[in-house]
Each structure stands twice: as structure tokens, then as C-alpha cells.
A and B are shown apart, each in its own frame.
Chain A
Amino acid sequence: MEPNKRAILEGRSITKHFGALAALRGIDFSLYEGEILGLIGPNGSGKTTLFNVITGIYPPTKGSVFFEQRNISGLKPHKICQMGIAKTSQIVQPFTRMTVAENVLVGAMYGGRISQREAWEKTYEVLEFVHLDKLMNVSSGNISVPDRRRLELARALATSAKVILLDENMAGLTPNEIEEALNLLRVIRDQGITLMVVEHIMRAVMGISDRMIVFDYGEKIAEGTPGEIAENPRVIEAYLGEKYA
């Protein structure tokens, strides 16, 4: 992506400490409007922590997050969601005693700040879009893992988010299901929603990202197109160990 494009989301030297542990150390990043940015790194490298800082679950120890040129660090998660940043969680958390439709409705009503009537319209629209419309009256505790992942995505879409952060939304899916999920993400991007994707399945994240960022031990070690990342010696070292670099 050309760097002259407008950054919708920006991190400036974000640092996050948990006691003595530095989970993030001075992370700078820009997410450009309309792109898919892949975020990879070994386990514990700080990917999920960055998502949690962006969405307001943790305030950053140092540094700040800017969304559409506004400093959002320190705001509560519901506020950040209402502004237009949604997240799907690694561990899916449906409201299990509510139906699939009601799950999405909560996101539409509160995240999208619209009336209940409008929210139902939005809910049907989103459910059809992610192909969950047939399950809409099923209790969300009774649906399969791929459907739960799609429900997470539907809830995020229903909030009318401009940016969606996807934390391992494809974990546990079969290759076919992954292919389907990737296509869905491309369609979402084509609708003008900017995506930031944390994924362990390398083929998936390489195939879909316009640009990528690599984390290791809470630091950004590389940034570039998927092709550049695949050949970057620091990335290979981080993943495979020194002797392969």
C-alpha cells in the first residue's frame, strides 16, 4: 500500500508492561484506510496485547493510539467500539443463552448506536451477508466452531465498524473453511472496511494481506509486503531459529 494513503488507525510508540514483563516495547504502526494488514509473530510476541490496547481493554503504559487523528488511548472499550473499531476474539465469547440473531443485535444496537428497530434490519442484513441467516433463531451455544467464528465476525460487522481487528478468526477451521473465510474477508474489505488480521496460519495471512507487520518479544522486527516478509532474515530467525536465517 502506498504510504501517501490516509492512516485510519495509528500507534505511536506503544509500550505495555505487565509488572516486570514488557509485552509491547515502543510499537509504531499505521493502518491505511481500505487495506488488510497482517500481524504475525511467534506466541507471546504481543499481537493480542496490541489488539487489547487498541480496543481499550488495557490502557497503554506509554504511547498512544490515534483513530482518525483522534487520541483514543484511555477510553473505555464500549466507547472505542462506538467510534468504529470492533474486534473478534481469539476465544469466541457468544452470549450463549441468546439466539444467533440476538447476539448480532446487541452489537448493532449498542455498537452502532441505533434504535432496536433499525438494529433488527441491520442484523438480518449482516446475518445474510455472513451466511448465518438460517441459524438466526438457534441458541448461539448450540452452533459449530466455524459458525461461532462467523458469529463473532457478524457481531463486529453489525457495530458498523470502520476498522475490524481479527484475532485468529480462522483457528480450528479446515482448509476449505479457511478458503471461505478468506473470501469473506476480501468482500468485507471491498465494502470499505479496513482489517487488521492476527493469524497463525501463514498461508492464509500471506495470501490475504496487502502489508504485514512482524512482532517478536514485543518489538516490531519487520514490515512490508508479504513477499518481502517471507524473505526477511530477521523474520525467518524469529520463527525458525538463528541457523536458518
Chain B
Amino acid sequence: MMQGQKSIFSLPGKSVFLVAGILLILAIFPAFHLSGYTLRLMSMIFMWIALASCWNVMSGYTGYIDFGPVVYFGIGAYSTALLMSRGGMPFFLSIVISGVVAVLFAIPVGLPTLRLRGAYFAIATFAFAEAMKQVALEWDRVVGVHFLEGSHGITLPIGPSHQFFYYTFLVIMTVLFLTSYLIERSRMGYALKAIHEAEDAAELSGVNTLKIKVSAYAISAFFTGIIGGVDAYWLTYITPNDVFSIHITIQMVIMCLLGGMGTLLGPVVGASFLTLVSEPLWAKFPYDYLIIIGVIIVVVIVAMPRGIVGTLMERKRRGGGT
């Protein structure tokens, strides 16, 4: 038929089988009695793929650099911690509510900040994340209650086995991958990319740019909040400095940049690559591994300025002609 059209179901059959096959292998993986370390490492990779994908949905596609996504991770972690330890709620209900709470913060934050362009949006989101960390730290002292427990942190009920988290993160990662895939092929995906390329032209072509940006920001916040909740249960003990840490933001951004912003596979490749490279380096060079990782990141970005996946796709496009 017409060649330009990419419908939701037009992903080549081969890729569908490949993705399904990989997920199936991952699903039966724990049956092989792997060490706790391997399961934990795999769960970590799933979590970072999911987090990098969250960032990609908003910043990757629109080019609006969110420099405070950790705020929704922290909000999700605290919501789950409070719901489970204070409210006695079950885990799955708690993480879904945590995602909703994150959205309730994201919409009023997104509406004014997403009118800002370029570096101003990055600064605003960064400031919001830092401010929320301070709120979590100082709330009890200022208000005079015992609620968020400040820097003492909150302890959650003891969680189940590593396998439980392995599967939870595997499911979340899969859901995010599918969500990104559907967004990319949907009306919304085209609008997000149009905003990235020429926002004024998009608005003049009938795209309600503010609404689309806020929607993407809210979707991103929803999943980030859920992941924050799962991680809190996994860690069983959270403090503001841990779950609102700027390092989580930086990891999300770097993984996405390394893999390729605005590509479906970019966060998957970036997060896997960075985690798999840093683990053995950390084990061998516990004091210098960050320097080595820094060098690796610089080399990859210089050689592949659009990220691993982004640059490969571009080369294929150029090589394959029109």
C-alpha cells in the first residue's frame, strides 16, 4: 500500500517475535536458580530501563530537558512508604496510588513550567525537585508533627524475595516499553516530535502544544512515581536524601542520552549499557570506577552524538538512501 504510513500494527513481524522472545527468556530466567546478586543486578537494569524510558517519553521526544524527574520518584517512594507503613495498604494498591499522587503534583507544576523554553524549563524542574527534598526533610519540624520523619526516614514493612521485585520491575519495564511504542505511533507521538522540531509551527498546524506537553509530563510522572514506590518497598528504608537524590536524575538523563533521546530502544540500550559497564568496573576499581565511566560516556557521546541507537538509526537511514 502507501509507503509513508506506519500503523500501530506495522512493526515487522520479526521484531515482535524478537521482543516477545527476549521477554519470555527474561520471564523464565529466575527458574535457573540464579544467585541473589544476578537477580538483583537484573532487577536494577529493569528499573533503570523503566526510569530512562519515563524520561524519554517527555524529554526525549519533545526536547524539553526535565532536570528534576527524581521529584516524582521521591513523591512515589514517600507515598508508598506512608500508605503501607501508616495506612496498612497492600503493595500494589499503594504503588498505583503513588503514581496518581505524582500526577497530581505534575499537572500544576507542568502547566506553568512547560511554557518556559530551553534552559529555563530545566532550571525550574531542577529547583522544584530540590525544593521538594527540603520539604520532605523539614516538614515535621516546621509543622510540628511526626509524619514524614525528616532525615530519620521511614521504614516500610519487610518485603518479599528478590524474585518478587525481579518480576515487578520486569512487568513495569514491559508496560513502559509498550506505552512508549504506542505513543510513538499515535497522534500524540507525532505531536511530540513536531514540538521538538518546531514548536511554533506545530501550534500553527493545530497542535495544542501546552496540552500535549503537560500530558507527556504527567504520563512520565505517573510511571516514575510507581517505580519510586516499588524501589521504596525494595529498599525497606527511605530518606529524603536517597529518594530525592539528584544522582537519580543524572542517571536517567545520561542513560537516555547514551542510548538515544527520542528513540524507542534508546533507554533500553543506554540503561543496560551503563549498568553492565559500571558493575564490573565498580567491583574491580571501587575508588576510580567513576572516572573510567566518565571517560566512557564522553567517548560514546563524541563518537555517537545522537546516542547509540539514535546514531545507528541515522547511519542506516543515510546508508539506505531515501
Contacts and interface: CB of A to CB of B under 8 A. Distances in A.
20 contacts: A79-B208, A81-B206, A82-B206, A89-B201, A93-B200, A95-B196, A96-B198, A97-B196, A98-B190, A98-B197, A102-B190, A105-B190, A106-B194, A110-B191, A110-B206, A110-B208, A111-B205, A137-B3, A139-B317, A155-B205
B5 A120 contact: yes
Contacts of B194: 95, 98, 106
Interface string A124-160: 1000000000001111001000000000000100010
Interface of B: 2-5, 7, 186-187, 190-191, 193-194, 196-198, 200-209, 317, 322
A120 B317 CA distance: 22
A106 B190 contact: yes
B314 to A, nearest CB: 9
A138 B322 contact: yes
A99 B317 CA distance: 12
A110 B4 contact: no
Size class of the contact patch on chain A: 35 or more
A107 B206 contact: yes
Contacts of A78: 203-209
A101 interface: yes
A63 B187 CA distance: 36
A159 B205 contact: yes
Nearest to B202: A106
A136 B190 contact: no
A165 B219 CA distance: 36
A55 B7 CA distance: 32
Interface in A164-209: none
B200 to A, nearest CB: 7
A77 B197 contact: no
A95 B209 contact: no
A109 B4 contact: no
Interface in A94-122: 94-99, 101-102, 105-107, 109-113, 116-117, 120
A136 B204 contact: no
Contacts of A111: 205-206
A57 B4 contact: no
A86 interface: yes
Contact of B191 (A76, A106, A139, A142): A106
A112 B4 CA distance: 19
B204 A81 contact: yes
Interface of A: 55, 57, 76-79, 81-82, 86-87, 89, 93-99, 101-102, 105-107, 109-113, 116-117, 120, 123-124, 136-139, 142, 155, 159
A91 to B, nearest CB: 10
Closest 4 CB pairs of A and B: A111-B206, A101-B4, A110-B206, A95-B197
Contacts of B202: 95, 106, 110
Most buried by A among B2, B5, B187, B204: B204
Nearest to A136: B4
Given A102-B190, A120-B5, A138-B322, A55 B204 contact: yes
A240 to B, nearest CB: 34
Contact of A94 (B198, B203, B317): B198
Contacts of B208: 76, 78-79, 110
Contact of B187 (A86, A107, A109): A109
A105 B194 CA distance: 11
Contacts of B3: 136-137
A102 B206 CA distance: 14
B193 A95 contact: yes
B204 A123 contact: no
B268 to A, nearest CB: 20
Contacts of A112: 206
B201 A93 contact: yes
Given A76-B208, A78-B208, A155-B205, 19 more contacts: A78-B203, A78-B204, A86-B205, A87-B204, A89-B204, A93-B201, A95-B197, A95-B198, A97-B193, A98-B193, A98-B194, A107-B205, A110-B207, A116-B186, A116-B187, A124-B2, A124-B4, A136-B3, A155-B201
A106 B196 CA distance: 13
A82 B205 CA distance: 8
A110 B205 contact: yes
Contacts of A139: 317, 322
A94 B205 contact: no
